[in-house]
Chain A
C-alpha cells in the first residue's frame, strides 16, 4: 500500500509538537511511539476498552480510533499532564491511591482521563452517574467498586 506523509502540529499537555506522520498513523501510536508519551495505553484498538482515552480539546476520545493527522491544531491532554507542575496529584489521582482504585494499573490512565473530564462537567454525581460515566472503560482487576469510591471522594474534595 502506498502511504503519504503529512506535516502536523499538535499540542499535547501544552507543548507544541511538529512532526511528519503517515496518514494512517493512529493517534495512540503517535503519542506513544513518536512523542514517547507512553502513559496512554492501548488495550483493544477497536474503541471498546477505553484504556487509550485522551482528551481532545477537553473532551474524552479514544486515541486508537483517531488518526494523528486528525489531531492537527487540536489540544490533546494525556495522563502525563495530569499532575501539577510540582508533580502533585490531581484530586482524582490522590483518591485512586487512597481508595485502592487500581491494581495492575494498565487501564488507569484511560480511566483518569475519562473521569477527570466527567468531574469537570458534574462535580456532584450520584454513584449511578459515576458508574454510567465509567462504563466505557473496562477494568479487569478491581471490580470497579474502589474506582467508583475514588471518583465520589474526588468529587467531594473538588467541591471543597
Chain B
C-alpha cells in the first residue's frame, strides 16, 4: 500500500452531494402520480373513542381516500416487540405495543386516529378539519409515582396496573456491605432526557408496483433490513418483493430506529390499496408527539463507602417513564442500571426498576439511551461522598477506578445485549490524569479564588463514564471491485451522518490499495445488501466496519491469487497498490484491479470447478459482546450569581474508544454528542401539564443549543484496543452526550458555593430559572 489511510483524518466522500444540495433525502423523492398523506392525531392524552367519521373528508375535492382503524380490517394489529426482555430471573414484563390507528381508546397526544390521502399535502391537511371526532376524555397518567398508586387511571386497562416492567439485578450483597460501611449517602435524583430533534423529521414514501409485484419504501429509518422483513410479513409479500431504502437521513440519534411507527405500517398498505405512490413527511409539531422521546427517571439511590472513600456498594430503586407502549422492551432502563456502575469497582450492587406506562409519547433510546441517567446518579453520589468524607472529588474517583490489570472486568449483571456486563479492555487512570491536566485542575482553586475576589463565580465540573458500544448481533458487507477499477461496498446499516461513506472506504482502501475517493459505499438499501441489524448503540463502525475489513481481506486475497496465476509467480512476489497488482521490483509488470475483475467474469470458455465469478466477497462480523469505551469530561464555567446565566469557559473531553479509524470524524461525533449533552443538562425539558399536554411543542419553546451555547471543546485520546474485533475498535457515537449532566450540576454547585449554602442539585435539566428556584427554596 502506498499510503495508509486507516487512522488518518481523511475528508469525507459524501460531502460533495450534501454541500451542493444534491443528496437525496426522503422529501426529495418525487414519483409520477404521487399522493400525499396527513394524519388526524389525538389532541388529548387519554380518552375513549366514541366516534371518528371521515365521510365528509372523503367528499372534499382532491381527497382520494380516508381511513380509520376499522377500515384496516385484519391489517390492524399491534406492532411487534422489537427487543424482548433480557434473561433476568424474576423479571416482569407486560407487552403492550403501539397500533397503526387508535381504536376504542387513545393513549397519548399525537396518537393517529385517521389517515387522509389527497392530491397535495395542503388538501390533505384541509380535510383533517372535515373529520368528526367524539372523544370521552379520561384522567391522564403523567406522574410516575401517582401512576403506580392504587386507584390511578390505567393506560392499559387489562394490565391491571401501570407497571410495564419490573426488574431487579444484584451483584454481591449490598445489605451486608452497608452494615460495614463508615459512610452511607442516600439521595433522590430526577433526570429528564428530552427529544432528539433531528433537523430532518421522519418521513415515509411507499410505491406499490402491481405489474412488478414490487413494493418500494423510502424510510428515514436507522434499520432498513428489519423494516423490510416486518413490512413484508404484514403485507403478505415475500421479503424479496419489498425493497426498503433509507436514503440520506438528516440525523437519527435513536428515535429513527424505533419501528414500526404507525406511518411506516400504513403508507405501504395505502399504496397497495390505491395502487398509487404515497408520501408522508412529518411536520415539526407532529415530531414532538409522534416521534419517540426519552424523558425521565426518579432514582432513590444510596452509596456505602469506607472511610477512605472506597465504594462498598450501591443500592438504587428507580422508576422509568416508558410512555404509552413498550415495543422497545427494556433497553433504556437496563442501560441506566448497567451504566451507573461506570468505570468503578462496585463490589455490591442492588438495583431495581419499574418501567411505568404513562399517557405520553413512547420512550425509546435517544443518544445515550438511559446511560446518562445512571451516570448522573453515580457521579452525584460520589460528589456528595467526597464532600462528606472530605476527600478531593478527583481523588475519590481515582481510588475507585477499575485497575488496568483487572480486564476483562466482569460486572455480574445482564446488559442490554443480553450478555453478562463485561468490560473488554480499558486503562482508566491515564484518561483521568489527562483530563485533570487539560482542565488545569491543580491550579483551579487559585484561579477560582482570584476570580471570586473580582466578584466572578467560577466552578469546575468533572465526570467519568463508560459507554457500552459495538454490540451484536452482526453486520455484513459486500466488497466488489468494478471493471473500471473502482470499488463498491454495500452494507445493510443505515447512515445518518456518521461518515460511513468514508470510514468504510478507508478500511477497504488499505486492504485493496485503492484511493478512498475511488470507493463508493452504499448503505441502507435492502436490494444492495440483504442482511443486517441497523445503526444503533454506537455499533456501525465496530460491527459493519469489521465486516468491511473481513470482506476486503478476502478480495485482496482473490486479487493476489488471480494475479499470481496470470504472472505465474508466487503471491509473496506481488504488491497491491495504486489500483494494480505488480511484481515486486518490476513496477512495469502489472495488471489493473479492474482488469482482474473483468477476467474474473469470463464470457466464454470453461472455469475451474468451484470458481466464483467476480472480484468480490461478502463477509459478516458479529462480536461476542459489546466493547466498552470510557472517558472523562471536565469543564470550567462562570455563573452570574444574580441571573444564574452560565458560560462555559473551558471544556475538555478525554476519551478512549480503542483504535481510531478517522480522528476527524471521531472528533465530530464527540462535538455533536457534547452539544446534545449540554442541551439536556442545561435547558431542554419536555414540559407536560397534568393532562399530558406538551406545553412547549415548538422549536421556539423547546430550546435546542445554538452556536452561542456550545463552547469550543478540547479533545484528548488514549487508545486501548478492544480484543473483541481484529481492528481493535470501540464505538464512539454516544460518548459526548453521556456525562454532561452531573458535570454541570457539580460545576454550578462549585461556582455558587451551593454545598455550603445547603443546596444540592439533584436533577437535570438545570436551567438558570430552575437553579434560581432551587436556591430560593432553600431560603438562600
Contacts and interface: CB of A to CB of B under 8 A. Distances in A.
Interface in B669-728: 671-676, 698-700, 704, 706-708, 710, 712-713
A50 to B, nearest CB: 9
Contacts of B19: 89, 93, 96-97, 102, 105, 108, 112
Given A32-B27, A134-B707, A135-B708, A103 B284 contact: no
A134 B706 contact: yes
A147 B521 CA distance: 25
A68 B467 CA distance: 48
A86 to B, nearest CB: 12
Contacts of A42: 27
Given A24-B122, A145-B712, A105 B672 contact: no
A12 interface: no
A142 interface: yes
Given A78-B21, A96-B19, A104-B200, A141 B284 contact: no
Interface residues of A, number: 59
A25 B672 CA distance: 35
A45 B283 contact: yes
Q: Which of A32, A43, A103, A143 has the most CB of B within 10 A?
A: A143
B667 A100 contact: yes
B707 A104 contact: no
Name the interface size band of chain B: 35 or more
B12 interface: yes
Interface stretch (B191-199, B317-325, B583-591): B191-199
Interface in B176-223: 196-201
A10 interface: no
Contact of B200 (A38, A106, A112, A137): A106
Contacts of B387: none
Contacts of B498: 103
Nearest to B34: A33
B14 interface: yes
A98 interface: yes
B418 interface: no
Dominant SS among interface residues on chain A: loop
Interface in A8-51: 22, 24-25, 32-33, 36-46, 48-49, 51
A158 B729 CA distance: 39
B21 A49 contact: no
A88 to B, nearest CB: 11
Interface in B1-31: 11-12, 14-23, 25, 27-28, 30
Interface stretch (B244-252, B296-304, B559-567, B622-630): B244-252
A143 B14 contact: no
Give the interface SS of chain B, mostly helix, strand, loop or mixed: loop
B549 to A, nearest CB: 23
Given A104-B248, A105-B18, A107-B199, A140 B25 contact: no
B665 interface: yes
A103 B497 contact: yes
A139 interface: yes
A79 interface: yes
Contacts of B11: 97-98, 100
Contacts of A33: 30
B39 interface: no
A83 interface: yes
Contacts of A135: 706-708
A82 to B, nearest CB: 7
B235 to A, nearest CB: 28
A128 B231 CA distance: 49
A66 interface: no
B284 A44 contact: yes
A131 interface: yes
Given A46-B284, A140-B196, A140-B199, A39 B22 contact: yes
Best-buried of A43, A78, A97, A98 by chain B (most CB within 10 Å): A43
Given A33-B30, A97-B12, A145-B713, A102 B18 contact: yes
A22 B706 contact: no
B707 A131 contact: yes
B698 to A, nearest CB: 6
A132 B707 CA distance: 7
Contacts of A49: 199, 284, 699
B671 A142 contact: yes
Contacts of A25: 122
Interface in A52-86: 78-80, 82-83
Residue from the set A42, A106, A112, A142 with the largest chain B CB neighbour count within 10 Å: A106
Q: Which of B668, B708, B710, B736 has the most CB atoms of chain A within a 10 A radius of its CB?
A: B668
Contact of B706 (A43, A51, A97, A138): A138
B713 A105 contact: no
Contact of B250 (A79, A93, A105, A144): A105
Contacts of A48: 698-700
Contacts of B126: 1
A141 B496 CA distance: 9
B18 to A, nearest CB: 3
B579 interface: no
A99 to B, nearest CB: 9
A40 B25 CA distance: 11
Interface in B518-557: none
Contacts of B665: 100
Nearest to A40: B21
Nearest to A151: B707
A148 interface: yes
A51 to B, nearest CB: 5
B245 to A, nearest CB: 16
A106 B12 CA distance: 15
Given A24-B122, A41-B250, A79-B20, A100 B200 contact: no
B664 interface: yes
B692 to A, nearest CB: 23
A1 B127 CA distance: 9
B497 A104 contact: yes
A104 B712 CA distance: 20
Given A49-B199, A98-B11, A140 B21 contact: no
A93 B708 contact: no
Given A108-B18, A145-B671, A138 B250 contact: no
A139 B20 contact: no
A43 B251 CA distance: 11
Nearest to A92: B19
Given A80-B20, A145-B713, A105 B497 contact: yes
A144 B707 contact: yes
Given A104-B251, A146-B668, A41 B200 contact: yes
B18 A36 contact: no
Given A44-B699, A46-B284, A89-B19, A140 B671 contact: no
A41 B21 CA distance: 9
B698 A46 contact: yes
Given A45-B284, A105-B497, A147-B707, 15 more contacts: A25-B122, A32-B28, A44-B284, A44-B698, A46-B284, A49-B699, A79-B21, A89-B19, A100-B12, A105-B14, A106-B25, A139-B199, A140-B253, A141-B668, A145-B710
Interface of B: 11-12, 14-23, 25, 27-28, 30, 122, 126, 196-201, 248-253, 283-284, 496-499, 664-665, 667-668, 671-676, 698-700, 704, 706-708, 710, 712-713, 736
Interface of A: 1, 22, 24-25, 32-33, 36-46, 48-49, 51, 78-80, 82-83, 87, 89, 93, 96-98, 100, 102-109, 112, 130-132, 134-148
9 contacts: A38-B21, A43-B284, A46-B700, A98-B11, A102-B15, A103-B497, A137-B706, A138-B199, A140-B675
